[in-house]
Amino acid sequence: MKWHRKDLLDLQSLSVEEIQTVLDTAREFKAVGERHIKKVPALRGKTVVTLFVEPSTRTRISFELAAHRLSADVINFNAEVSSLRKGETLKDTARNLEALNADFIVIRHSAAGAPHFLSRVLGAHVVNAGDGAHEHPTQGLLDLFTMREKKGRLAGLQVTILGDILYSRVARSNIWGLRKLGAEVTLCGPPTLVPRTFEAMGCRVVHDLHQAIADADVINLLRIQHERQRKSAFPGLGEYTHLFGITRSRLADTKPDVLIMHPGPINRGVEVDSDVADGERSVILEQVTNGLAIRMAALYLINGGKATTPGAN
Partner 1 sequence: MSGASVEAAIARLSDGIVQRYAEGSRVVLIGIQTGGIHLARQLAGHLARAWQSEVPVGQLDVAMHRDDLDQQLAPKVHPTSVPFDISGKHVILVDDVLCSGRTSRAALDALNDLGRPQRVELAVLIDRPHRELPIQADFIGEHVATEPGDRVDVQLTEGNGASQVFIESPSPRSP
**In the set 12, 13, 32, 264, which binds partner 1 (CB under 8 A)?**
32
Q: Which residues contact 42 (CB under 8 A, 6 or more apart)?
A: 70, 71, 300, 303
Q: Answer yes or no whether residue 1 interacts with partner 1 by CB under 8 A.
A: yes
Q: Which is nearer to partner 1, 77 or 300 (CB)?
A: 300
Rounded-to-integer distance, Cα 234 and Cα 219, Å: 21
* Distance set, CA 178 to CA 152, 155, 156, 210, 215 (Å): 14, 8, 10, 22, 17
**In the set 17, 39, 82, 111, which binds partner 1 (CB under 8 A)?**
39
Looking at 104-112, 177-185, 193-201, 294-302, which segment touches partner 1 (CB under 8 A)?
294-302
Q: Answer yes or no whether residue 110 interacts with partner 1 by CB under 8 A.
A: no
Instruction: Count other Cβ atoms within 10 Å, centred on residue 75.
Output: 15
DSSP per residue over 212-275, as a string? Answer: HHTT-SEEEE----TTT-SS-SSS-HHHHHHHH-B-HHHHTTS-TT-EEE--S---BTTTB-HH
Q: Answer yes or no whether residue 4 interacts with partner 1 by CB under 8 A.
A: yes
Q: Answer yes or no whether residue 307 interacts with partner 1 by CB under 8 A.
A: no
**In the set 104, 167, 198, 300, which binds partner 1 (CB under 8 A)?**
300
Q: Answer yes or no whether residue 31 interacts with partner 1 by CB under 8 A.
A: yes
Q: Answer yes or no whether residue 304 interacts with partner 1 by CB under 8 A.
A: yes
Q: Answer yes or no whether residue 29 interacts with partner 1 by CB under 8 A.
A: yes
Closest alpha carbon to 279 in 242, 248, 241, 245 = 248
**In the set 8, 19, 23, 43, which binds partner 1 (CB under 8 A)?**
43
Chain residues binding partner 1 by CB under 8 A are 1, 3-4, 24-25, 28-29, 31-32, 35-37, 39-43, 46, 70, 297, 300-305, 309
